[in-house]
Structure 1
């Protein structure tokens, strides 16, 4: 990465944090599968890797479009890498659903983690960067990543799924950490 935040495959963009309006409203459907979208996806990968994340939604870098990228292991620990444009999430039916309670974090709420049950299997339907239809099955952490990133595109952060008391405590800890990191 050079001094301008550029990598060979994209520009690192700043991550938006909880409270930024772009994170709290549903994103727009992508209608143009063009060079601008390809550049956005490259920038998203560069930004995700720079922040040491396993997934990143476009609104996390201030772009309110229905796109997310991921580089995340599945239940066999094999890394899966991809992009999904205009995703639709499919979860197992209630009777077939197995919840996995795992501590979750988010690049948009840095320094905070909370236990959150989610289904251990998910299928994502959407399009690749060229507009070709794709379907990807996720298990383990990859299934969680698909759910987490799709939530982002709906304007929902993982903390919005926490019980009110736990969410309030987590946000208070986040605010306290911000104050302690700010020079007086």
Structure 2
């Protein structure tokens, strides 16, 4: 049998099986057009479902009174390129974090760059791990040099809690 004939024969066989099984028929009073979907809807309506619990809009204050900040790893940065300071925290959404970037230098070095600072607002993350992200220009820095990063909150409403500030570091490299 030619390949074209075998395709038509196979399609004809499938249609015959569907007709014989009653899957393809004209709607009638006994069997309206959407009997399958009606049966599924009725079955779903009669099943027991778990109640949906609402996701809390705010994360609870930590039981031990400790807030934390974790800075994502920062790779080496070429002088003049922006550096991204990103991370996670359990501090509530909307609070402001302070970001300080400053040189790691000895007291005897002739360092002109005194540091960069900025504020970043905490945004909603997932599972009470909120996120922050900020970008800084490195063109005023000296290269090659080790630079330290510190992120913390000085919000008065968070005073009295133990607060774990986080520090990180990266190298500023000269352009190749």
> TM-score, length-normalised on structure 2?
0.20
Considering fraction of residues, name the structure with more helix.
1
TM-score, structure 1 as length reference: 0.19
Relative contact order higher in (CA < 8 Å, ≥ 6 apart): 2
- Structure (1 or 2) with the larger CA radius of gyration: 2
